[in-house]
Structure formats: structure tokens, C-alpha cells
Amino acid sequence: MGRDIYETRFFDLSLRAVSDEHNAKIKVFTDKRVLEMDAQVSFDTEYAGVSSLDHFLGGLLGGVLLALLEQARHKHVCIEDLEGRLTAKLANPLNLLRVQGYDQAPDLQDLRIVVYVYAEMGEDALFRFCQEALALSPLYNCVKRTLGLLVDVKRLL
């Protein structure tokens, strides 16, 4: 295998984003979908939109659960119940609100996902199963490497 084929090592991704005519929303175009967002993050309890932070964290949580489901299909394992919960801290949120005297950059800290799984396998087998699945999750691997991410798997009885 002296000749390395680019496509065996990489799958190129490309997105395009534009603002609407009123500069109120951003539309992100993927290959097949359009995602809309009108806030980086919202502190408003009445906010009905999906912020860019919601998309990011939702994609991370969904990606972890999908990795487990894909692993289950590949290994012919029956997962009867699967649920996940993501928690994170947004550090320095007042800077996003432009509060005077707060100038530290906002960022995410203490990302944690708790996954609840019911599958017919023992504790050790479930741990190995989940580790193998997470190793195949690009979002998990990226966030674990850059931000730190703890995934805790709880076996439902």
C-alpha cells in the first residue's frame, strides 16, 4: 500500500452560511438541509428559537447516542432503552450581554454526558461496548480532545 488514496483518509465537509436580509438570522446550508439560528445563546426563558449553542450541544449529545445505536446494529446488540443528558457550564456569560466590567471570553466548561442504557449485557461488556462506540464518534473525539468531555454510562436494570 505504497500509494495513499486521499478519500480513504478524509471525507471533506463544507457548509455555507448567510445572514437574512434584515441581519436577524443566519441560515447554514449543509448538503441536504438548512439550519436557522438567530442567537449564539439565549438567556430568555420564552425564547422559541434554536441558538447556535443549542445546535452544537444537541449535535454532540445526539452524536454520542447515535454512535451507541450504530455500534448496537453493527454488533447485533439489542438496546431496549437509551437516553442521554448533557450538562455544561457557560463561563463568563455576562460578557455576551455586554455588561460593563466583564471582558473575559465566554467558553464552555465541565461538559458531561450521562447516558442511560438498557441492554442485555453485563457491566464490563457494556463498558467495552460504549468505549468502542465512542471511539467511532467524530464529535465526541473532537470535543474530548479540545474541551474535555466526560461521558458516564449508567446501566438501567
Q: Which domains does the chain have, with CATH numbers?
A: 46-155 (3.30.300.20)
- The model carries a pTM of 0.90
For 6, 7, 9, the CA distances from 3, given in Å and listed in that order, are 10, 12, 12
For 7, 50, 58, 97, 133, the CA distances from 74, given in Å and listed in that order, are 23, 32, 24, 46, 10
**Residues forming beta bridges with residue 29, ordered by sequence position:** 16, 34
Q: Residue 22's Cα: distance from chain center in Å?
A: 29
What is the structure's pLDDT at 22? 83
Main-chain dihedrals φ then ψ at residue 30, nearest 5 degrees: -95, -170
What is the structure's pLDDT at 2? 54
What is the structure's pLDDT at 157? 82
What is the structure's pLDDT at 35? 94
Per run of 10 residues, the mean pLDDT along the chain (length 157 residues) is 81 94 90 94 92 96 97 95 96 92 93 95 93 96 92 91
Q: Are 129 and 79 in contact (CB under 8 A)?
A: no
DSSP state for residue 94 in the 8-state scheme: G
- Cell triple for 49: 428559537
Nearest-angstrom CA–CA distance, 37 and 72:
33
